[in-house]
Amino acid sequence: MDVQAVVDWFDANARDLAWRAPGTTGWGVLVSEIMLQQTPVARVEPIWLTWMARWPVPSALAAESQGEVVRAWGKLGYPRRALRLHAAAGVIAADHGDVVPADVDTLLALPGIGAYTARAVAAFAYGLRAPVVDTNVRRVVARSVHGAGEAGPPSTTRDLADVDALLPADHATAARASAALMELGAVVCTARSPRCVDCPVLSTCAWQRAGRPAYTGPSKAPQRFAGTDRQVRGLLLDVLRGSAEPAAKSRLDLVWADSGQRDRCLDSLLVDGLVEQTADGLFALPGEH
């Protein structure tokens, strides 16, 4: 595919996202990438702005209690991300001079940072050539290169190689291309109702040339939520987020009727370190009592 065409399109059409503002630090990029995992841009932006004002450097976040960080995470979802980011900030402050590393392998060693986030930070914060593979890029490659309606099951090794083959040699342009491919998937080459009329690589798209065939690969497991432990954990944690003082179990019991599931979920929150029990048997966010 013609990656340069995507970069040119990006130059003219990039969204004006808060973390793309000139002067955003590696820390700012890292926080944005963690928050954006499985979470829409619109929900992240206000929280990110709050965090940057409150904790402008890793050591500032690391000095905060876990509970306060979980509370400030609000309803972004997957609150273990907040705990892991807090832990990563501690390592960055202690071992890396309070500066987010630029090296992919060093980033990968930090809690909560995986194959995507490590390369996203290297590319977007430091302008390095690193194949950034997220759900958007996987879809763009599946369509424009492989002619498939959507990406098949992820394979880090194969996905990285696919994107690596597309990136130009020099760091700055490659980093720009990584951002451009993601943006194309997020704005034009979307999962449903792709806006192909606006696509900068329409003329060379393998999926388009094949007549936009429907996806034929294995179907992904349906993503349920209602009635799951995820929902119950969310309800339990929401009580503690909204409470300045530790709460009695009787208060937590109100959020879900099934006591077996309720207790199992509370226990898993304790195991995860998202909730702590005080000496007098009450429940609270960690480190706040």
Binding site for DNA (CB under 7 A): 17, 19-20, 32-33, 36-41, 43, 75-80, 84, 111-118, 120, 134-136, 139, 153, 155, 182-183, 185-186, 190-193, 220-223, 225, 228-231, 233-235, 237-238, 268, 274
* Tokens coding 131: 């194949």
**C-alpha–C-alpha distance, residues 76 and 42, integer Å:** 11
The span from the CA of 199 to the CA of 265, in Å, is: 45
Overall size of the chain counted in residues: 289
Question: CB-based contacts of 272: which residues, under 8 Å, 6+ apart?
Answer: 80, 83
Nearer to DNA, 10 or 55 (CB): 10
* Residue where the block lists tokens 């309803």: 75
Name the residue with tokens 């997220």.
Answer: 134
Q: How far is the CB of 280 from DNA (least distance, A)?
A: 26
68: annotated active-site residue: no
User: In the chain, where do the E strands start and end?
Assistant: 276-277, 283-284
How far is CA 62 from its chain centroid?
20
Q: What share of the chain is helix, strand, coil (3-state, %, to 5)?
A: 55, 0, 40
Compare residues 52 and 279 and give the one whose CB is closer to DNA: 52
Kindly state the DSSP code that residue 255 receives in the 8-state scheme.
G
Shortest distance in whole angstroms from residue 102 CB to DNA = 16
What distance in Å separates the CA atoms of residue 34 and residue 288, rounded to the nearest whole number?
A: 24
For residue 231, give the H/E element and its range.
Answer: helix 229-241
Min dist CB 191 to DNA, Å, is 3
Distance (Å, whole) CA 164 – CA 168: 9
Position 122, amino acid: A
CB of 279 to DNA, least distance (A): 25
Shortest Å, Cβ 151 to DNA: 10
Annotated catalytic residue within 33, 64, 150, 276: 33
Encoding tokens for residue 25?
């630090």
Active site residues: 33
